[in-house]
Amino acid sequence: MQLSIKHTGERPEGVRNIFLVKETSLLKDFGFNNEALAYVESRVEAKEKLITIQNYNIVYYVRVVADDEYNNKGYEALRKDGATIYSSLKKDKQSGVCIYDLIGDKAAMLALNEGVALSSYAFDKYKTDADEEQVKELSIWVASAAINQGDLDELRRLTNAVFITRDLVNEPVSTLDVEELSDRISELGAIHGFDVDIFNKAKLESLKFGGLLGVNKGSVDPPAFHILEWKPESTINEKPVVLVGKGVVFDTGGINLKTPPGSLDDMKADMGGAASVVGAMVAVASNKLPMHVVGLIPATDNRPGGNAIVPGDILTMHNGKTVEVLNTDAEGRLILADALSYSKNYEPELVIDLATLTGSAVMALGQYATVGMGTASDEVFQQLHEAGDCVYERVVQFPFWDEYGDMIKSDIADIKNLGAREAGAITAGKFLSHFVDSPWIHLDIAGPAFVKKDDSYRGSGASGVGVRMLYAFLKNKC
């Protein structure tokens, strides 16, 4: 989907119109007659907020904003109404819409725009019978004194970054193996201006990336480690923020093959953390945030072939610690551990990792929130919570008490890669804590990263979770 968002001072012809209002009487200035106004007011009295008026081929959408909606929850409702409007546009094969701001609230206008824009995503490249008349581009015009073209360009670039993440996650492993992932990351770096360095298997062996190499032993394709760096001439941070993303391009579970049947269906999405880091780097670089940001992405598939690791094996990790493998389906933490250890080279002010790591996180929160934990300060966690709440990619902070660390002690190695059935998301985080010394936040996005049913502007399949939250978090630091 090609997307354009333009500020306008004129009323474009041949497009549908959305009016964001508080006082319905203002609609008179846009040609609403008494009958139309009476209809809108009757719908408002019936507690409706999104009202559609259709007269043959002319369609107006009126979104009435209540006094209690000028907050994160209200802005999320506006995004969802934007998705509802886009669904109507798509059904009627409409490629243009103009949004009129009659309330003067920037956050509300951006939220409605964002809902329309994010809803325009579709992953249909493999549909051979796609409707030839299907709308392939969307043009949004915005008439608002509260927003300028710079605001809209930033939103468009952020939306594009989310779409890049969704594309990476939705792509099957047959067309997005590690080599192809490396190529796409390199291409995106060249387009958006961040540097990319990729370590091959020989380099990883010399650096003793025991976790990444261990997981890769069952694969016919070599692993790779990607370093993405955005460092503009003027930065506000002396030490970088490092983002780490789990890049398991397909996870069979290894020798501990996933069961029951059907549990493999969405395992192409096990590189959702890596894709979110790529999207975040695109958003940061394309919008030229004055922040030094580094992305680290270890990538492999997890297969049961060749000399695949088995339960009972001992791996020596990049930082020298030994790990007893109890379950080869707890592989994500093994490759993340090496990346977290490598992050020490940057002496970062903060490390944030994102991973579709545990079923425990899904069982705890479903698709509606991300599990968070770590060693960063309460102040930093609060900043992340605020960024997540703002874009409605919410984070629930789990306890990180020492007692959970006891659950991964090993009798024959430093630690083991699996705790008990209980508190699985937390013990996975405790495992990772052995490999990072800097202030650190672990985000388990297993629930919201890939959804099976349509979820408003997030769609179905890959949601792109993490990109908007990380961008808001980093932008707020500028």
Tell me whether residue 368 is in a domain. yes
How far apart, in whole angstroms, are the C-alpha atoms of residue 128 and residue 207? Answer: 45
Q: Are residues 444 and 395 in the same domain?
A: yes
Shared domain check, 120 and 190: no
Q: Which amino acid is at 225?
A: F
> Does residue 277 contact residue 245 with C-beta atoms inside 8 Å?
yes
Active site residues: 258, 333
Same domain, 22 and 166: no
Q: In this structure, are 237 and 290 located in the same domain?
A: yes
185 three-state secondary structure: helix
Asked whether residue 322 is domain-assigned, the answer is yes
**Residue 141: inside a domain, yes or no?**
yes
What pLDDT score does 131 carry? Answer: 62
Q: Are residues 206 and 126 in the same domain?
A: no
Q: What are phi and psi of 183, to 5 degrees?
A: -65, -40
421 and 472 fall within a common domain: yes
- pLDDT per residue rounded down to tens, the chain (478 residues): 789 999 999 999 999 999 999 999 999 999 899 999 999 999 999 999 999 998 878 899 999 999 999 999 999 999 999 999 999 999 999 999 999 999 999 999 999 999 999 999 999 989 887 665 567 789 999 999 999 999 999 999 999 999 999 999 999 999 999 999 999 999 999 999 999 999 999 999 999 999 999 999 999 999 999 999 999 999 999 999 999 999 999 999 999 999 887 789 999 999 999 999 999 999 999 999 999 999 999 999 999 999 999 999 999 999 999 999 999 999 999 999 999 999 999 999 999 999 999 999 999 999 999 999 999 999 999 999 999 999 999 999 999 999 999 999 999 999 999 999 999 999 999 999 999 999 999 999 999 999 999 999 999 999 999 999 999 999 999 9
Answer yes or no: do 358 and 439 share one domain: yes
pLDDT of amino acid 86: 97
Q: Are residues 204 and 261 in the same domain?
A: yes
Task: Quote the crossing angle between the two packed helices 467-476 and 272-286, to the nearest 10°.
Answer: 40
Query: Which single residue is written with the structure tokens 């059907």?
Result: 262
Q: Is 153 a domain residue?
A: no
Measured CA to CA, the distance from residue 160 to residue 196 in angstroms comes to 20
Domain final residue pick, 101, 120, 147 = 147
* CA–CA gap between residue 159 and residue 95 (Å, rounded): 17
Cβ neighbours around 363 below 10 Å, total: 12
10 belongs to a structural domain: yes
Do 252 and 330 have their domain in common? yes
274 and 410 in a common domain: yes
CATH code, domain carrying 414: 3.40.630.10
How far is the C-alpha of 96 from the C-alpha of 22, rounded, in Å?
A: 24
The strand pairing partners of 374, in sequence order, are 441
Q: Is residue 177 part of a domain?
A: yes
The pLDDT of residue 129 is 76
**Are 310 and 255 a contacting pair, CB within 8 Å?**
yes
Angle made by CA atoms 25, 26, 32, in degrees to the nearest 5: 80
The amino acid at 335: I
- Full domain range(s) for residue 428: 158-476
> How much is the pLDDT for 21?
98
User: Does 459 map to a domain?
Assistant: yes
pLDDT value, residue 130: 63
Q: Choose one of 147, 174, 208: the last residue of a domain.
A: 147
Given a contact cutoff of 8 angstroms between Cβ atoms, the answer to whether 300 and 216 are in contact is yes
pTM of the shown model: 0.97
In the sheet that holds 322-324, the strands lie side by side as 314-316, 322-324, 415-416
Question: Domain with 71 in it: what CATH number?
Answer: 3.40.220.10
Are β-strands 224-230 and 96-101 bridged in parallel, bridged antiparallel, or unpaired? Answer: unpaired
- What pLDDT is recorded for position 116? 98
pLDDT given for residue 133 in this prediction: 55
Are residue 136 and residue 183 in the same domain, yes or no? Answer: no
Q: Is 176 left (phi over 0), alpha (psi -120 to 50) or beta?
A: beta
Q: Are residues 178 and 218 in the same domain?
A: yes
d(CA 27, CA 364) in angstroms, rounded, equals 46
How far CA 149 is from CA of 5, 12, 433, in Å, comes to 8, 16, 43
Select from 440, 100, 158, 136 the least CA-distant residue to 289. 158
What integer pLDDT is reported at residue 325 of this predicted model? 98
152 assigned to some structural domain:
no
- Structural domain ending residue among the three candidates 147, 173, 206: 147
Residue showing tokens 């333009």: 6
CA 158 to chain CA centroid, nearest Å: 11
Is 233 exposed, middle or buried, given 0-12, 13-18 or 19+ CB atoms closer than 10 A?
exposed
Angle at 228 between CA 222 and CA 233, to 5 degrees: 160
Total number of domains constituting the chain: 2
